[in-house]
Amino acid sequence: MSAPESAPPVAPPAGTPTSVIRAEKAAHVPHRWRNLYTLTGMLVVDSTEGGLTATLFPTIAKALGLDNGHLGLLAAAGKIISVPFGPAWVWISGRTSRRTALALSTALAGAFGIAAGFSNDFLTLLIFNTLMAAALIGAQPIANAVVSDLFDDKNRARAVGIVYGAGAGIGALLSPLIAQLSHFADGWRWGMWALGGVCILAGVAILALFKDPGVGAAEKQLAGLDAEKRAEVKPTFRSVMSLFRIPSYVVMMVSRLLSGHLLIGVFGIQFLVTVRGFDNATAAIAALPFGIGYFLGTLGGGFLVGVLDRRAPQRGRVAYIQAAQVLFAVVAFFGTQFAYTGIGVYALIWGLIGIAQGMNPGVNRPIIMAITLPELRGQAFAIMITIFEAIGWALFSIGAGFLANALGLQTVFLWVLVILMLVNAAVLGILYRTYPRDVRRVADELEARRLALTS
């Protein structure tokens, strides 16, 4: 994949239309593959550290005397703190650089993760786990915005699929290994210390390897301009608030509040332990097929969305994202509402759940990229990931944690993983009307901007 970057640039034939030259530049942003792999490695480390508490929670609970409610509070606190810190990290990236913000957020997360490993009570664990989440969240919106500047629209689904698919695949391989730490009384502490150190190293790697392409580098309307001209339009509070005047963006934000599938990452292992009776290490085996399924769903989904873009450019992405919600609800129903013998059956079901959940990033990220202007994408993703997704996840985590103690996780899963996901699919149907209009609006605005900057 990196071969085109190492080849010397070839001058276009004489008489080639400037629109074709711009499109070619947008499709071949320098260092795009190296940057993508660097971001992928960073996000893998961040994701693994962020999921460590959920993976080893049964062991942590035993050591510190905790229950489902405490797990819900840990997950919810991490999401709530993301609400101000997600946009704040994007703001910091605008005042310094995206490279600096990515490195700093990852290194700080590692430091707080190491501190969390020294916790001897729930309050200390809650404080450092929350601070770690506040640092980790910085990478998500910035990295997604960078991907939109590395790849043009027709290749973004594939790029997003690689980022999230590789992260899930590697995470799936690591999760069962990490779960083996549950055999030791202080194993969860060792895990936090080790991953915290790796996070700090990942921050250093960002400084050494990442080359920012500049905002708007992959837009065919702006690709002929230098980075300074593309960066002349700065986001303001008013322009960020204007995101909520984009109909498709509003629909996507409502969808995030209805995304009950997020709960499986918090309570999936706990469900297999407390409801189905497996021990922590055995239950964690399901994380491997889930991660493999997520990898296949994300990577394969990214390529499939690319095919749909060619066959049905106006509505293919909408049909795909709807299908992902319905598929998840169906698999979750059969996977959580019936008891099966042996971890093998659940491993298969968790793999199918992973495929269904993995279908989402490869389509929802490109949808957001297509309906927002380049300079607003960082904040657009910050709002989606760190505010709407965080609020929804926090509500689900807190509610599910306490309702699970009263009603049982199986009942909670029925309402959140099945019924709510079907409602989500219905809401996303609104995009059939709004999405094509919003995509055209962005294209028209970028063309007008090009004319203004070159006149």
Task: Confirm if 396 and 416 have CB atoms less than 8 A apart.
Answer: yes
- For the entire predicted model, the pTM comes to 0.83
CA separation for the pair 376, 209 (Å, rounded): 25
CA separation for the pair 143, 167 (Å, rounded): 13
At residue 262 the predicted structure's pLDDT band, cuts being 50, 70 and 90, is: confident
184: Cβ contacts below 8 Å, ≥ 6 apart = 190
Task: Confirm if 75 and 397 have CB atoms less than 8 A apart.
Answer: yes
Task: Give per-residue pLDDT as tens, 346-360.
Answer: 999 999 999 999 999
CA separation for the pair 207, 209 (Å, rounded): 6
pLDDT of residue 5: 47
Spell out the long-range contacts of 180-187 with Cβ–Cβ below 8 A and sequence spacing 24 or more: 180/281, 181/56, 181/59, 182/56, 182/58, 182/59, 182/280, 182/281, 182/284, 183/281, 185/63, 186/63, 187/56, 187/59
pLDDT of residue 12: 54
CATH architecture entry for 32-215+239-454:
Up-down Bundle (1.20)
Mean pLDDT of 57-64: 84
- Average pLDDT over the chain reads 86
Task: Give per-residue pLDDT as tens, 418-450.
Answer: 999 999 999 999 999 999 999 999 999 998 888
CA separation for the pair 298, 300 (Å, rounded): 6
Token pair recorded at residue 151: 């790849």
54 against 203, higher pLDDT: 203
CA separation for the pair 262, 276 (Å, rounded): 20
**Range scoring the smallest mean pLDDT among 141-145, 204-208, 277-281, 337-341:** 277-281
Task: Give per-residue pLDDT as tens, 268-283.
Answer: 888 888 888 888 888 8
